[in-house]
Amino acid sequence: MKEKNNFKTNVMRILDSKKITYKSYCYADTDAISGVEVASALNQNPKQVFKTLVTVAKSKQNYIFVIPVEKELDLKKAAKSVGEKSIEMIKAKDLLALTGYIHGGCSPIGMKKFFQTRIDESAKNFNTVIFSAGKIGYQVEVSIEDLAKVIKFKLDDLC
């Protein structure tokens, strides 16, 4: 499943502008909804396919957590990771205004503004990780080293 008609998302354009090598995938012609279904549709290991979660802390700061699609974010570990007392998921209706992305198409690359980002430490078990290309139906695969050239993040135990 390759990109259709050389379709490019903003995430792909950002990667291109930084001369980052990536693979793109399209699952738009499937009925995959959950991250695990997306991994299955792409015939990829769900441990290597990551979802981007946007949270808000008691301090009103927003944080981004990128974790494997088959896992759940441990809110206590996540809060500790960013030095907050507690955090919670933001409401889906607030996602677009805050990040420029809709639920199901949120990527750690290309948000309206940069938020402190943590990626689950399991990412270091793979040469590359796969995550949303910023539009439902599209994913990109990038090495962690190359991702570090585009966004700042820390690896931590989040699940």
Q: How far is residue 151's CA from residue 109's CA, in Å, rounded to a whole number?
A: 7
CA distance from start to end of the chain: 29
pLDDT at 5 over 90: no
What pLDDT, in 10s, does the model give residues 108-118? 999 999 999 99
Banded model confidence at residue 82, pLDDT cuts 50, 70, 90: very high
Q: What does the pLDDT read at residue 1?
A: 39
What pLDDT, in 10s, does the model give residues 136-158? 999 999 999 999 999 999 999 99
The CATH superfamily label for domain 4-156 reads YbaK/aminoacyl-tRNA synthetase-associated domain (3.90.960.10)
* Sequence ranges of the domains in the chain: 4-156
Is 127 exposed, middle or buried, given 0-12, 13-18 or 19+ CB atoms closer than 10 A?
exposed
- pTM equals 0.94
Q: How far is residue 15's CA from residue 110's CA, in Å, rounded to a whole number?
A: 10
In which element (H, E) is residue 87 found? Answer: strand 87-89
**Strand order from edge to edge, sheet including 116-120:** 87-89, 50-57, 62-68, 116-120, 154-156
